Amino acid sequence: MKNSALAALAAFLVSTPVVIAVPVYGQCGGIGYTGSTVCDAGSTCTYSNDWYSQCLPGSSNPTTTPRPTSTTSTSTRPTSGTTTTTSTGPISTDNPYVGYDVYLSPYYAAEVAAAVKNIKDATIAAKAASVAKIPTFTWYDIAAKVPDLGVDLANAKSIQTSTGKKQLVQIVVYDLPDRDCHAKASNGEYSIANGGEAKYRAYIDAIAAQISKYPDIRIVAVVEPDSLANLVTNLSDPKCANAANVYKSSTIYAIQKLNQSNVYLYLDAGHGGWLGWDANLAPAAQLFGQLLKTAGGTYRVRGLATNVSNYNALRTNTPDPITQGNKCYSEELYANALGPLLTQNGFPAHFIIDQGRSGVQNIRKEWGNWCNILGAGFGIRPTTNTGNSLIDAIVWIKPGGESDGTSDTSSPRYDSTCGLSDSTRPAPEAGTWFQAYFETLVTKANPAL
């Protein structure tokens, strides 16, 4: 190339900032976000909440400006408080929750605060506002959100310094390539066919880098909801069969890379209505045990998380009729059945159980239904008082009020489960705020808010 041409090229590069388009489902806006706000062709930057705008398929709106514009500096996330879990009752030694305050996600608190403004009834609004003080997990479901983890950890660190109370931050690691291989609503940003495994490793590296900067903040991480459970039962689905090896190697990579002394990992184990069937229990325990053996060495794997985003009861004297034929008709029975099998397979038998939306029982037509179930209420509050030494804590993993999936049949992420008669409709895209659903969770909370 001639010098003049080079000069012209240089001038062009200087005068024309290179705009990197965000891929579909990537983040394109929100308070504190500093990346590109331009979406790939065919998708539109869509406001989800003050903290998050996302490139969604469709081009109805030609502008790419997300709202709200971030006029404030990135250091002005809402102040967060903390809450203490009770620690009476049987608890196992080394339970990561004991002696720690669980950090409250400012992101969820902001979602709740925005929702409260839309509730006219003062009594319900007050109950709804109280939800912001109940700890939920923060989902890192796209790599673009990982910098937020650094903000949360810095926040937790300053709370710890100012109050002297040790802080525990709860996260969900959720970005496997070909994610959610047996469903559609929660498919992720990476595909195996398109270098997804390497991208996933970079995502894990980014999380590990944030965590290693705060060695005195404790992290509880739920690893990849639904993924290994799908390998136990859904290998007949070609998408799951194709993903099996990458799911395993990627999970092992996460286990190895997140092996820092402040981290406690709980791999996801579906729920009693999935892996709790007699035919599935032993294969599930073998899969988890084998995975740790393949990883080699000792890692910071504490146990399993169950019932993530589901609606099952912790314990019940009146099993839901849909559970008929399954000995594990409650999550506690599932933990009790799986625990000894895990031990036999060299996998730590400790559990955390999501009860965020389990307040109301017997509301599903079939056990496998999971999408924005009608009539659900917030469930048992997070606590280490679980009454079962296998269960480290009751937690709220799914942020109640965020949709499980859209009911819009024309959406590429439409999953027919979200159109069933026991799902709340109309429902927005997975992960986006679902005001009507949140209000039902509040009014039907059990125990009441």
Ligand X SMILES: *[C@@H]1O[C@H](CO)[C@@H](O)[C@H](O)[C@H]1NC(C)=O
Specify the DSSP class assigned to residue 381.
P
Q: Is 182 annotated as a binding residue?
A: no
Stretches 13-21, 81-89, 93-101, 297-305: which one binds ligand X (CB under 6 A)? 297-305
Q: Does 215 bind ligand X (CB under 6 A)?
A: no
Number of other residues whose CB lies within 10 A of the CB of residue 325: 8
Which bin fits 168, alpha (ψ -120 to 50), beta or left (φ > 0)? beta
| Number of chain positions touching ligand X (CB under 6 A) | 32
* Maximal CA-CA distance, the chain: 83
User: Cα Rg for the chain, rounded, in angstroms?
Assistant: 22
Q: Does 49 bind ligand X (CB under 6 A)?
A: no
Q: Does 234 bind ligand X (CB under 6 A)?
A: yes
Give the contacts of 106 (CB within 8 A, at least 6 positions apart). 77, 78, 79, 80, 152, 155
> Hey, is 288 helix, strand or coil?
helix
Q: Is 141 annotated as a binding residue?
A: yes
Ranked by CB distance to ligand X, the top (closest) residue is: 312
Stretches 17-25, 108-116, 136-144, 355-363: which one binds ligand X (CB under 6 A)? 355-363
Task: Choose among 244, 346, 249: nearest CA to 290.
Answer: 346
Q: Does 331 bind ligand X (CB under 6 A)?
A: yes
Instruction: Kindly state the helix (H) or strand (E) to which residue 257 belongs, with its residue range.
Output: helix 238-257
Site map (CB under 6 A) of ligand X, residues 376-395, x = contact: ---x----------------
What DSSP letter does each residue of 345-368 carry, written as one string? TT----EEEE-TT-SS-S--SSTT
Site map (CB under 6 A) of ligand X, residues 129-168, x = contact: ----------------------------------------
Please report, as residue ranges, which positions from 257 to 276 form the binding site for ligand X (by CB under 6 A).
259, 261, 271-272, 274
Q: Which of 88, 298, 324, 410 is the binder for ligand X (CB under 6 A)? A: 298
SS (H, E, C) 314-349: CCCCCCCHHHCCCCCCCHHHHHHHHHHHHHHCCCCC
Q: Does 225 bind ligand X (CB under 6 A)?
A: no
Q: Does 310 bind ligand X (CB under 6 A)?
A: yes
Stretches 43-51, 62-70, 161-169, 309-317: which one binds ligand X (CB under 6 A)? 309-317
Q: Does 423 bind ligand X (CB under 6 A)?
A: no
What DSSP letter does each residue of 135-171 carry, written as one string? --PEEE-SGGGHHHHHHHHHHHHHHHHHH---EEEEE
With respect to ligand X, which residue has the nearer C-beta, 157 or 184?
Answer: 184
395 bridge partner residues:
354
Please report, as residue ranges, which positions from 83 to 102 form the binding site for ligand X (by CB under 6 A).
none
Q: Which of 53, 312, 345, 403 is the binder for ligand X (CB under 6 A)? A: 312
With respect to ligand X, which residue has the nearer C-beta, 307 or 383?
Answer: 307
Q: Which of 149, 265, 313, 442 is the binder for ligand X (CB under 6 A)? A: 313
Give the contacts of 13 (CB within 8 A, at least 6 positions apart). none
Contact 389, 89 (CB under 8 A): no
With respect to ligand X, which residue has the nearer C-beta, 234 or 388?
Answer: 234
43 bridge partner residues:
57
Q: Does 354 bind ligand X (CB under 6 A)?
A: yes
Q: Which of 182, 184, 199, 257 is the binder for ligand X (CB under 6 A)? A: 182
Query: Which residues form the interface with ligand X (CB under 6 A)?
Result: 182-183, 226, 230, 233-234, 259, 261, 271-272, 274, 297-300, 306-307, 310-314, 331, 334, 353-358, 368, 379
The binding site for substrate comprises 139, 141, 271, 274, 310, 370, 398, 402
